[in-house]
Amino acid sequence: MSHYKIAPSILAADYANFETELKRLEETGVEYVHIDVMDGHFVPNISFGADVVAAMRPHSKLVFDCHLMVSNPENHIETFARAGADIMTIHAEATVHIHGALQKIKAAGMKAGVVINPGTPLASIEHVLNLADQVLLMTVNPGFGGQAYIPEMADKIAALAKMRQEKGLDFDIEVDGGIDDKTIRSAKDAGANVFVAGSYLFKSDLQTGVNALRAVLND
Ligand code: DX5
Ligand code: ZN
């Protein structure tokens, strides 16, 4: 099995029909569903929370990849574990206790992810990389779907992959924001292996979009 994973973001799905959307996603053969939680504080927008994750859980076997764009995410770890999150990814900028928070996510039985914004240096997460199952590099400024991929992030992805090798670690590198059948190549070549895509997949035929991304990954 390929180590590449596609993570469609339901931020771009039909919010009145999550059950149908999850079934549709599952049929396309993707590995993850990416769930963007926004609190209107860490980012300007508000999306959905743990209760929505819990409501979706019985309807899907996909890996629930929860991206928390919320302040003080350490306050929500137990809630997301109970809701059925498989991966909980939190922003290093959103807590002064990133190390402890990642430990708590693992202790709660989830995979731990750490994420940084485009302007945040890799040095800010260097000393917690050993705790991370996944490192997410934002390729847009978080808060909204449909923004343009920031091409300069390719160097950051490559630097993170190098850091991983030097430290002998094996976390996944995920990218999020502006991923389509063109930009995915830049992120892949730089060393990413988990690809979030929202508007690109949901704005036209889902299966056609997934196939186009997969074609680049298999190339
Ligand atoms: C942005 C979110 C993304 C978003 C990506 O703040 O974290 O996951 O859904 O959307 P696209 O793929 O449209 O850039
Ligand atoms: Zn996201």
- Name the pLDDT band for 1 (thresholds 50, 70, 90): very low
Cβ of 11 below 6 Å from ligand 1: yes
Cβ of 191 below 6 Å from ligand 1: no
The string of pLDDT tens digits covering residues 16-34 is 999 999 999 999 999 999 9
Closest C-alpha to 167, from 179, 159, 156: 159
pLDDT at 71: 98
148 in helix, strand or coil? coil
Q: Please count the other Cβ atoms lying within 10 Å of the Cβ belonging to residue 44.
A: 12
The string of pLDDT tens digits covering residues 113-141 is 999 999 999 999 999 999 999 999 999 99
pTM score over 0.85 = yes
Question: Which atom of ligand 1 is closest in space to residue 45's alpha carbon?
Answer: 6
Q: Average the pLDDT over 143-151 and give the result.
A: 97
Percent of the chain with pLDDT over 70: 99
Helices (H), 74-205: 77-83, 98-107, 153-167, 183-190, 199-202
